Amino acid sequence: MNRIGILTSGGDAPGMNAAIRAAVRNGIASGMKVFGIERGYEGLIDGDIYEMDVKSVADIIHRGGTMLQTARSERFMTKEGLDKAVMMTQSFGLDSLVIIGGNGSLTGALTLAERGIHVECLPGTIDNDLGYTDRTIGFDTAVNTVLGAVSNIRDTSSSHERTTIIEVMGRHCGDIALYTGLAGGAESVLVPEIPFDINAICVKIIQGRNRGKKHNIIIKAEGVEIDSFELAKTIQERTGVESKVVVLGYLQRGGSPSAEDRLFASRAGFKAVELIKDGIYDRAIGLAGNELVHYPLADALKIPTKAATDYLDIIDVLS
Ligand code: F6P
């Protein structure tokens, strides 16, 4: 009988619970013993591992966050931490781990695979920054959350004829900014992948004002190397238009997962167990269009992330 462990690691993302539920329920339906590992690699190191049943994952499919808790584990990056994690996996008799997380977490999974632990990986992060998959679990919900905020901010920005910089998450990947910029009708979008031109932004604001535009929405990914408040100050000085900043922060990480995230998470969690049943290990599960795909983890992690920077041209013309 297989004994599998499930953990979530790194920043939480809406849909992680749906993925846990799917893996737990398909595992049990397949005759496996399923164990939840708390707080990601931290819990693996500490042996915070408990057996789950069908009821353990009741009433979570619609909830944001992760019922298993999560952490960014510094200890797991050390040799001692990794040794302990391997040792705990063996002592609990876990023959495979289902690991749900972003880039760092999946890189951690690879180090476990290199030590002989079977892993199946699901991309769980709002950042959409894993190159091997078109989507990560949580991205769609985060985009919709940001869009709601953009609409509200646009109302007040119009009333007061202001420019508002909305800072969104995405340390290395501009997708949240690009998708919400296009879908939210922003005037400008700043992403870490492409250098921005302050003159072009200011000219756009002045031209917009001259043709009667009441608001300017600039969406800036947090990874862009300029402080948002400094940027607002510069824009205000150069254009004479009052400029404000809203940092959306962690509100982007919470909330009930969208249909898209629940579907992907449920399919991917289910698939992880199928792969274990078939003896296909160390895979990264993702989406190519709407097709569920899986690749060798080591290969998947080598594929560079490609943000939708082609949206920038569309945004420029449409705003
Ligand atoms: O990795 C997802 C993410 O939301 C990033 O966009 C953001 O920079 C980071 O997590 C913040 O993480 P923490 O919870 O460690 O502050």
- Catalytic entry in 46, 59, 95, 127: 127
Q: Which atom of ligand 1 is nearest to the CA of 72?
A: 15
Q: Specify the pLDDT at position 124.
A: 98
pLDDT digits (tens, 9 = 90+) for 248-265: 999 999 999 999 999 999
Decide if pLDDT at 87 tops 90. yes
The 8 Å CB, 24+ separation contacts for 313-317 are 314/182, 315/178, 315/181, 315/182, 315/186, 315/188, 315/189
Which of the four pLDDT bands, split at 50, 70 and 90, describes residue 298? Answer: very high
Stretch 177-193: mean pLDDT, rounded? 97
pLDDT digits (tens, 9 = 90+) for 145-174: 999 999 999 999 999 999 999 999 998 999
Decide if pLDDT at 304 tops 90. yes
Cα of 201 from ligand 1 centre, angstroms:
27
Q: What is the mean pLDDT of the chain?
A: 97
Which of 169, 176, 252 for a ligand 1 pocket mutation test, highest count of atoms within 8 Å of Cβ?
169
Tell me how far apart the terminal alpha carbons of the chain are, to the nearest angstrom. Answer: 58
Q: Specify the pLDDT at position 240.
A: 96
User: Does 155 qualify as catalytic in the annotation?
Assistant: no
pLDDT digits (tens, 9 = 90+) for 2-48: 999 999 999 999 999 999 999 999 999 999 999 999 999 999 999 99
Q: Specify the pLDDT at position 80.
A: 98
The encoded tokens of residue 300 equal 């998947």
| Closest CA to ligand 1's atom 9 | 11
- Percent of the chain predicted with pLDDT > 70: 100
Stretch 232-247: mean pLDDT, rounded? 97
Q: Can you tell me whether residue 10 is helix, strand or coil? A: coil
In Å, what is the CA distance from 23 to each residue of 4, 147, 212, 263, 299? 9, 30, 54, 13, 23
| Closest CA to ligand 1's atom 2 | 11
Q: Can you tell me whether residue 86 is helix, strand or coil? A: helix
Tokens 């940001």 belong to 146
Q: Which H or E element spans position 291?
A: strand 291-296
Longest CA span, the chain: 71
- Percent of the chain predicted with pLDDT > 90: 99
pLDDT digits (tens, 9 = 90+) for 202-236: 999 999 999 999 999 999 999 999 999 999 999 99
pLDDT digits (tens, 9 = 90+) for 128-152: 999 999 999 999 999 999 999 999 9
- Does residue 235 contact residue 243 with C-beta atoms inside 8 Å? yes
Which of 173, 253, 305 for a ligand 1 pocket mutation test, highest count of atoms within 8 Å of Cβ?
253
CA 8 – CA 198 distance, rounded (Å): 40
The encoded tokens of residue 62 equal 């619609």
- Does residue 105 contact residue 40 with C-beta atoms inside 8 Å? yes
| pTM recorded for the entire structure | 0.97
| Closest CA to ligand 1's atom 8 | 171
Q: Which atom of ligand 1 is nearest to the CA of 129?
A: 1
CA 30 – CA 314 distance, rounded (Å): 48
Provide residues with CB under 6 Å of ligand 1: 10-11, 72, 102, 125-127, 169-171, 222, 253
From the list 71, 54, 60, the residue with the least C-alpha distance to 8 is 71
Sketch out the chain's domains with CATH numbers. Answer: 3-138+257-300 (3.40.50.450), 143-254 (3.40.50.460)
Tokens 């023959």 belong to 95
Q: Specify the pLDDT at position 313.
A: 97
DSSP per position, 200-262: HHHHHHHHHHHTT---EEEEEETTSSS-HHHHHHHHHHHH---EEEEE-GGGGG-SPPPHHHH
Decide if pLDDT at 1 tops 90. no
The encoded tokens of residue 223 equal 């990874």
Cα of 29 from ligand 1 centre, angstroms:
34
CA 281 – CA 216 distance, rounded (Å): 49
